[in-house]
């Protein structure tokens, strides 16, 4: 893998950041990712090499000597659904096998939901840790947070200030 490929790979540590427009994955790349695997139990384990993030990755030329890269499971999802991954969404593994490209094991989550899942608990999808629906997410600095929780923090902060 060369340096440019490394750079354009989605960094899992950036998941709380403001969503960037995802790389458009060409059909031919998506097809390659969706067909290069070995069956291991229920999983279709990609034969693409694994990056430092633990996910199989696939790269392609975009001309003028430039390369793009994404993960095999993202590309496979694009192939099986026929759609690009929406901005701010991540393709999550229900099976927790990072190299798996079986479409039955893949689902899209918002980056917000996925980050909380990988933080160690499988929170209910569509809700914050306090059970508020994720329809009202808001930015607090560069972080995405629950708008209801955020309003609650503000209210408590103001009440504390008043009491002091």
User: What's 100's DSSP letter?
Assistant: B
Q: Which is nearer to Zn ion, 4 or 148 (CB)?
A: 148
Q: How far is the CB of 21 from Zn ion (least distance, A)?
A: 27
Among residues 57, 79, 54, 76, the alpha carbon closest in space to that of 68 is found at 57
Among residues 44, 125, 52, the alpha carbon closest in space to that of 92 is found at 125
Q: How far is the CB of 97 from Zn ion (least distance, A)?
A: 4
Q: How far is the CB of 151 from Zn ion (least distance, A)?
A: 9
DSSP strand pairing (89-93 vs 106-110): antiparallel
Concatenate the DSSP letters of all residues of 55-88 into one string: SBEEEEEEETTEEEEEEHHHHHHHHHHSSPPPTT
Q: Which is nearer to Zn ion, 130 or 161 (CB)?
A: 130
Q: Which is nearer to Zn ion, 102 or 114 (CB)?
A: 102
Q: How far is the CB of 154 from Zn ion (least distance, A)?
A: 13
Q: Coil, strand, or helix at residue 155?
A: helix
By the 8 A CB rule, do 58 and 75 touch? yes
Q: Which residues bind Zn ion (CB under 5 A)?
A: 43, 95, 97, 100, 102, 105, 128, 130, 132, 146, 148-149
Q: Which is nearer to Zn ion, 6 or 148 (CB)?
A: 148
């Amino acid at each position: 893998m060369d340096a440019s490929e490394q750079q354009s790979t989605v960094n899992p540590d950036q998941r709380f950041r403001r969503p960037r427009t995802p790389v458009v994955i060409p059909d031919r790349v998506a097809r390659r990712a969706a067909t290069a695997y070995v069956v291991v139990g229920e999983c279709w384990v990609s034969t693409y090499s694994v990056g430092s993030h633990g996910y199989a990755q696939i790269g392609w030329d975009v001309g003028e000597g430039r390369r793009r890269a994404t993960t095999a499971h993202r590309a496979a999802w694009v192939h099986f659904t026929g759609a690009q991954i929406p901005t701010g969404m991540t393709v999550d593994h229900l099976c927790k096998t990072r190299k798996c490209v079986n479409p039955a094991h893949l689902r899209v989550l918002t980056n917000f939901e996925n980050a909380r899942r990988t933080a160690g608990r499988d929170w209910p999808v569509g809700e914050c840790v306090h059970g508020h629906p994720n329809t009202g997410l808001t930015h607090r600095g560069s972080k995405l947070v629950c708008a209801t929780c955020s309003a609650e923090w503000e209210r408590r902060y103001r009440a504390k200030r008043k009491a002091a």
